[in-house]
Amino acid sequence: MQLFTAERLSIASKKESGRKSERESVHSYTKGQRHLHTDLDRGESEVKYTLSGDGAGSIFTIDQTTGDIHALRSLDREEKPYYTLRAQAVDMDTNRPLEPESEFVIKVQDINDNEPKFLEGPYTATVPEMSPVGTYVTQVTATDADDPTYGNSARVVYSILHGQPYFSVDPKTGKHGASGPDCSLAASQPAVAVLTFRGRSCGGRRRPCVFLMTRHKTSQRVIKTALPNMDREVKEQYQVLIQAKDMGGQLGGLAGTTTVNISLSDVNDNPPRFSKSFFHLRVPESSAVGSAVGRIKAHDLDIGKNAEVEYNIVPGDGGAMFDITTNEHNQEGIIVLRRWYDPTGTQTTYLSS
């Protein structure tokens, strides 16, 4: 027979959280009264109660006469979400046990005292310029240490504080999960679960046992382009400020932020252009075949390989008289005399790049 029927303990203590004092309430899983009691206790001071187990004497104390349990200090669910204790009723005079020892669990009930935190940051990302709306840019991840199974303390909503209208983020929360050994869930309560293990856990046998599940709700959100035709040649760098707010984004929720530095990578969307449409070159009569008789240059607004220029003479327009090569260092076109010509005449040559 179980000794105690009263195991809904409304133990609560203050804790500091940022700018204000908050409370984390404590209760056991089994419903009942607010104190421990045995049927053998008739109120004649013949019974006293003892307490042992997690935190007995240092965190929790029991009134030996009434069976009331009190917390001696503040409790933090993120440090330890539950305590397993044992209680017993003994004879006041002889300390002889009156009933078998009983075990019960006290769970620390969560409050919203942890803001979402981004696992990394600031983030760096690159997306091609001129990308269509909805193009993937990067993914950010925030985690909330509060209990995802209780209330909305760990329900995170994302928003962009700075960086619109160029980029967007899905506001809804993403993937989340719990960490622990290889097991299957048979029955559960928040933070404490009855599990069936398949490995060496619980003595190597397949049997139920109590196991602490460490649950931090982790959500991943994808940042996408929200504006078409973003041109690198107009604006290359963007700084986006992302906010993750718990309580489903409601008033009073806690928030964390991170910065995403986004660069537009170049695509070949600009043709080379000459500074003018007509170049007039004078070739000295003494010029030797194969010598350079002039230089021209076209400019490309792109960068890297996309800005490398190659010059050609349009077929049939002076190709027999002149040739052109490209200087790879400064991207100039060098016009070379291919064969001797009559200096008294005028030669018009058309070039392309």
Q: Which of 179-188, 203-212, 231-240 holds the top average pLDDT?
A: 231-240
> So what's the pLDDT on residue 114?
93
Mean pLDDT of 110-121: 90
Q: Identify the structural domains of the chain with CATH numbers, from first to last.
A: 11-108 (2.60.40.60), 117-265 (2.60.40.60), 273-352 (2.60.40.60)
Mean pLDDT of 44-57: 87
Instruction: Report residue 347's pLDDT band, with 50, 70 and 90 as the boundaries.
Output: low
Mean pLDDT of 73-81: 88
> So what's the pLDDT on residue 2?
28
Closest CA to 245 of 334, 330, 171, 140: 171
β-strands 123-128, 255-265 pairing: parallel
- State phi, psi for 167 to the nearest 5 degrees: -135, 160
Closest CA to 182 of 147, 216, 158, 206: 206
Token representation of residue 13: 């203590």
Q: What angle do CA 164, 165, 170 make, to 5 degrees?
A: 70
> CB within 8 A of 217, min separation 6: which ones?
143, 144, 146, 148, 154, 155, 156, 173, 176
> So what's the pLDDT on residue 5?
28
pLDDT, greater one: 218 or 265:
265
Q: What is the pTM of this model?
A: 0.66
Flag whether pLDDT at 156 surpasses 90. yes
**Sheet of strand 136-144: strand arrangement:** 117-118, 136-144, 217-225, 167-169
Q: Which of 41-50, 154-163, 249-258, 323-332 has the lowest mean pLDDT?
A: 41-50
> So what's the pLDDT on residue 244?
95
Instruction: Report residue 348's pLDDT band, with 50, 70 and 90 as the boundaries.
Output: low
pLDDT tens-digit readout, 296-346? 999 999 999 999 999 998 887 666 788 999 998 999 999 999 887 665 555
> So what's the pLDDT on residue 43?
62
> So what's the pLDDT on residue 16?
38
Q: Which of 33-42, 191-200, 234-243, 342-351 holds the top average pLDDT?
A: 234-243
Flag whether pLDDT at 38 surpasses 70. no
pLDDT tens-digit readout, 52-71? 999 999 999 999 888 888 88
